[in-house]
Amino acid sequence: MTTFLGMPATAPRGVGHLRGEEPFPAAARAALANPQLRRNLGHATATIRAKSAKVIAELPDWQELRSAGSALKAYTMAHLPELLEQLEANVSAAGGVVHWAADANEANRIVTDLVRDTGHDRVIKVKSMATQEIGLNEALEAAGIQPVETDLAELIVQLGHDKPSHILVPAIHRNRSEIREIFLREMPDVDPTLTDDPPVLAAAARRYLRETFLSTKVAVSGANFAVAETGTLAVVESEGNGRMCLTLPDTLITVMGIEKVVPAWRDLEVFLQLLPRSSTGERMNPYTSMWTGVTPGDGPQGFHLVLLDNGRSAVLADEFGRQALHCIRCSACMNVCPVYERTGGHAYGSVYPGPIGAVLSPQLTGVADNASLPYASSLCGACFDACPVKIDIPSILVHLRNEVPHPRSEAAVMAAAAYTMDRPRLYAAAQRAARLSRLAGRRGRGLPPPLNGWTVGRDLPEPPKQTFRDWWAKR
């Protein structure tokens, strides 16, 4: 425990899908060339936004709830070591076993060993960001264990050998005819006359998953919340697949990021109001499953909780950036982000896409490994307004931009500007040169190389006809 949260901020972290595969600008350019993707994204995000706005407007104390959620998360971060120890004690007292994983490799090794110990070679999974983050499915497959995703969208992604592109709607980039093709190609014993009618597609997935639920003895889940005071874990979901995974198998293994702990049972009252309204636009989640350790004769008789650090201690060490750990994964920031709506989630090269991904992934991996993500934003502030726990994402983006290693050429330009501005005559000569370039017809156009990067996405401002100095001298 002491070494766990006491890891130095520079500790190497095992990371699954967090490291940007190619810089955001290149990946975004490729995504922008896909009109189908943009249509799917535009339709889905607009629908969720409208639903969410309607149910949020029903609550007169929404802003107070947001403030309460923010304060609870800030308190949790300030007392994280004590709360985790309290959680461990209460889970253990209720018959669960707690494991500590410093990084992705350790977490994958723990889960793989636990599954092997059961003697089974297949697990059913509840949708979980933490297990995607550590690449658990790939680790299980390498060990000869078959993971089966049971959330419908996650199943589509898994069968399509694809990656999720949205926290809440992982297959948001797919339309129904693409889903039909994936099912026909990959789903065992699928009806070859399958149509792309949504109820028909859902029924095919349901039949396949029911058989899998009833014949699989080990489940792996994430957790939305863990209550330190009682040792209770909570998973919220919409399809009932989570309830099946959490109750039917003999063994349940939960992988949870350490930031998901909340101090007390009554704190759930705040988060269980904030989360569904911000995520699915519902008043409450259709399924809220909670369990405390093991109950003899009821549900899984073996319960393991894997507490995952994987860079979170380093994020916690940054008193400003640590706000990113307040995230309750509602996806509201994605649904309002003009950048996400056009590029989709894959462009972020991380399991955490959109505005929260742009601040969380660089912090988890080290900013240098995801240096383009803090710039994947127009800083319009829509994400801050939408966030149910009031994470000031735009300010964290600016904070992280200051940590990004800047190119030498930029430092050279800044040094030259400082030198020039320090010398009035030289500065006046530079102004004259700028005005000459205006006369030479460069107004409104880009800068010449090597400075043209600055004007790729913006026009060069026109130098004024008269400088302030000229104006001053005349008067």
Interatomic CA distance for residues 383 and 354, integer angstroms: 9
Closer to ligand SF4 at the Cβ: 171 or 332?
A: 332
Residue 168 or 314 with smaller CB distance to ligand SF4: 168
With contacts defined by CB under 6 A, name the span among 109-117, 140-148, 387-395, 451-459 that binds ligand SF4.
387-395
Distance CA 203, CA 206 (A): 5
Q: Which of 268, 316, 376, 389 binds ligand SF4 (CB under 6 A)?
A: 389
DSSP letter at 200 equals H
Stretch of 92-100, 110-118, 182-190, 383-391 lying at the interface with ligand SF4 (CB under 6 A): 383-391
| # of chain residues touching ligand SF4 (CB under 6 A) | 14
Question: What pairing do the DSSP bridges indicate for beta strands 97-101 and 302-308?
Answer: parallel
Using CB under 6 A as the criterion, what x/- string covers residues 273-292 for binding ligand SF4?
A: -----x--------------
For the CB of residue 11, give the shortest distance to ligand SF4 in the complex, in Å: 24
Query: Please, which residue, 123 or 397, has the CB nearer to ligand SF4?
Result: 397
104 lines the binding site for ligand SF4 (CB under 6 A): no
* Sequence-distant (≥ 6) Cβ neighbours of residue 439 within 8 angstroms: none
CA proximity to 121, closest of 211, 218, 210: 218
* Interface characters, 297-336, with ligand SF4 (x: CB under 6 A): ------------------------------xxxxxxx---
List % helix, strand, coil for the chain (3-state, nearest 5): 55, 10, 35
Q: Which is nearer to ligand SF4, 231 or 388 (CB)?
A: 388
Are 123 and 140 in contact by the 8 Å Cβ rule? The answer is yes
On the 0-12 / 13-18 / 19+ scale of CB atoms within 10 A, 356 is: buried
CB of 186 to ligand SF4, least distance (A): 30
Q: Which helix (H) or strand (E) holds 291?
A: strand 287-292
**C-alpha–C-alpha distance, residues 341 and 280, integer Å:** 17
Token pair 């710039």 is found at: 375
Smallest gap, in angstroms, from Cβ of residue 315 to ligand SF4?
Answer: 13
CB of 322 to ligand SF4, least distance (A): 13
- Point out which residues bind ligand SF4 (CB under 6 A): 278, 327-333, 356, 386-389, 391
